[in-house]
């Protein structure tokens, strides 16, 4: 089924997610403040739309068509930005599924419905889980 996803942050994870989703035929829009990062993204995910701007600004989210998005993935390297963007997405745009990246494991407690986050993922925690699993299966 066709889905519209907005991604904030054109870093490694954002680019990879955008190319995976668009190769499966989903509509994707990526927001980043850095025009060069978006240029790189277009090479790897040519079908994805891009918006240059600060995603914590409401008019930037509006330009990305966030009110029509089924999912928002907030993947910047800055936890307070990720949280404030998630809050705006939930309160102002009623995005059904808000997924946010947790950078500092100490901030994990903040990523829940109180801040508009449906799923929070910490890269460190995911990696540690995977490593532990690998150790145990050896």
Partner 1 sequence: MNEINVVVVGCGRVGSHLADLLSSEGHRVAVIDKDPKAFRRLSTGFKGIRIQGDALDREILYQAGIQGADALAAATDSDSLNATIAIIAKNKFRVPKLAIRVFDPSDAEIYRRLGILTVSPTEWGASLMKDMLVHPELHSKLTIGSGEVQIIELAVPPALAGRPVEDVNVPREVMTVAVTRQGKAVVPYQGMLLQDGDILTLAVSATAMSRVEELLSH
79 lines the binding site for partner 1 (CB under 8 A): yes
- The answer to whether the beta carbons of residues 79 and 9 sit under 8 Å apart is no
- Residue from 26, 27, 81, 101 binding partner 1 (CB under 8 A): 81
Dihedral through CA 91, CA 37, CA 17, CA 72, nearest 10? 10
Instruction: Give 10's DSSP letter.
Output: -
CB of 31 to partner 1, least distance (A): 14
80 lines the binding site for partner 1 (CB under 8 A): yes
User: Token pair for residue 55?
Assistant: 């995603």
117 lines the binding site for partner 1 (CB under 8 A): no
CB of 133 to partner 1, least distance (A): 28
Instruction: Give 56's DSSP letter.
Output: T
32 lines the binding site for partner 1 (CB under 8 A): no
Q: Where do we find the tokens 């309160």?
A: 91
User: Token pair for residue 68?
Assistant: 């029509």
106 lines the binding site for partner 1 (CB under 8 A): yes
Which residues make up the interface to partner 1 (CB under 8 A)? Answer: 56-59, 79-81, 83-85, 87-88, 91-92, 104, 106-107, 109-110, 114-115
């Amino acid at each position: 089924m066709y889905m519209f996803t907005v991604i904030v942050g054109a870093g490694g994870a954002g680019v990879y997610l955008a190319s995976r989703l668009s190769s499966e035929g989903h509509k994707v829009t990526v927001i980043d403040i850095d025009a060069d990062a978006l240029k790189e993204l277009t090479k790897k995910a040519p079908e994805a739309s891009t918006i240059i701007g600060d995603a914590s600004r409401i008019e930037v989210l509006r330009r990305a068509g966030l009110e029509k998005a089924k999912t928002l993935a907030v993947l910047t390297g800055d936890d307070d930005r990720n949280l404030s963007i998630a809050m705006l997405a939930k309160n102002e745009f009623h995005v059904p599924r808000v997924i946010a990246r947790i950078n500092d494991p100490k901030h994990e407690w903040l990523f829940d419905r109180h801040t508009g986050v449906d799923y929070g993922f910490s890269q460190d925690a995911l990696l540690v889980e995977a490593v532990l699993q690998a150790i145990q299966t050896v």
